[in-house]
Amino acid sequence: MITKTDQLRKGWRQYPSNTVARWDDFVNWEKRQQGEGAFFVDVLRRNNVKTVLDIACGTGYDSIRLVKEGFTVTSSDGSAEMLAQARANARKERISLNLIQSDWRNLIDTFKSEQFDAIICLGNSFTHLFSEKDRQSVMNQIYYLLKKGGVLIIDQRNYDSILKYGYSSKHKYVYCGNTIDVSVVHKDEQLITFRYTKQGNGYFELNLYPIKVGEMTKLIKQAGYEQVTTYGDFEKEFNPRSTDFIQHVAVK
């Protein structure tokens, strides 16, 4: 039996097949693409990126887009269910993904001495790490797997604002679906529980660590990056209260 403690430690265990089956309704690929525009592709091209490791590929949204844009993508995730859905989504798009199951804590064991031009961790994924030791270790492993001059792109929900003012969403960025209602059923500085209710079809919940923007920036800088830029809803200038998602771009 998978206990809650186990799910918190191994975040990918929070995605059983019935949650994965609803994930793409929650994302809404078309609206997500409209919201982010060419932001990620532009950052990657600006930094002469050819090879990308997507360590939280989920159902494949970013990996598929980047393959279509001509990047060489390796996609990993801890969840076998997510990887199966990514494979099915790629097949529908008539492309193939290089899919690998890996827990972030074992990234170096998985990829050995392979190095990438960019590593992405998107869709508010890093928030699955509850221990400071794990967060530091994963951040250091990502750094190790990047070439010199390589780019890390990592995003997060604007937890500073959620903790202070409550949860709200413009339904414009990252998770854009309007067939799933999102609410926060628990929040404190250490744990936030989101409930995702699909009209007439039950709900699933995710338990996450509400990492603050300053904490994430500190972790990135401690790993050794030369340059870190933080965006809010894809803009350099942003309102810290009304922004939904934060994007960090770091260059090694």
Ligand X SMILES: C[S@@+](CC[C@H](N)C(=O)[O-])C[C@H]1O[C@@H](n2cnc3c(N)ncnc32)[C@H](O)[C@@H]1O
Give contact residues for ligand X (rule: CB under 6 A).
10-12, 15, 27, 56, 58-59, 61, 77-79, 82, 103-104, 122-125, 128
188: how many CB neighbours lie within 10 A of its CB?
Answer: 9
Name the β-bridge partners of 183.
195
Structure tokens at 227: 């340059």
Query: Coil, helix or strand for 67?
Result: helix
For ligand X, the closer of residues 15 and 173 by Cβ is 15
Least Å distance, CB 111 to ligand X, is: 13
Per the CB < 8 A criterion, the answer to whether 208 and 192 are in contact is: yes
Least Å distance, CB 226 to ligand X, is: 26
Alpha carbons 195 and 213: distance in angstroms, whole number: 22
Least Å distance, CB 148 to ligand X, is: 25
Least Å distance, CB 239 to ligand X, is: 23
For ligand X, the closer of residues 208 and 223 by Cβ is 208
Q: CA distances (Å), 7 to each of 102, 137, 165, 203, 205, in order?
A: 15, 19, 27, 17, 11
CA-based nearest residue to 223, from 145, 139, 121, 106: 139
Residue number of the CB closest to ligand X reads 123
For ligand X, the closer of residues 86 and 146 by Cβ is 86
Query: Coil, helix or strand for 108?
Result: helix
For ligand X, the closer of residues 2 and 237 by Cβ is 2
Least Å distance, CB 127 to ligand X, is: 8
For ligand X, the closer of residues 225 and 245 by Cβ is 245
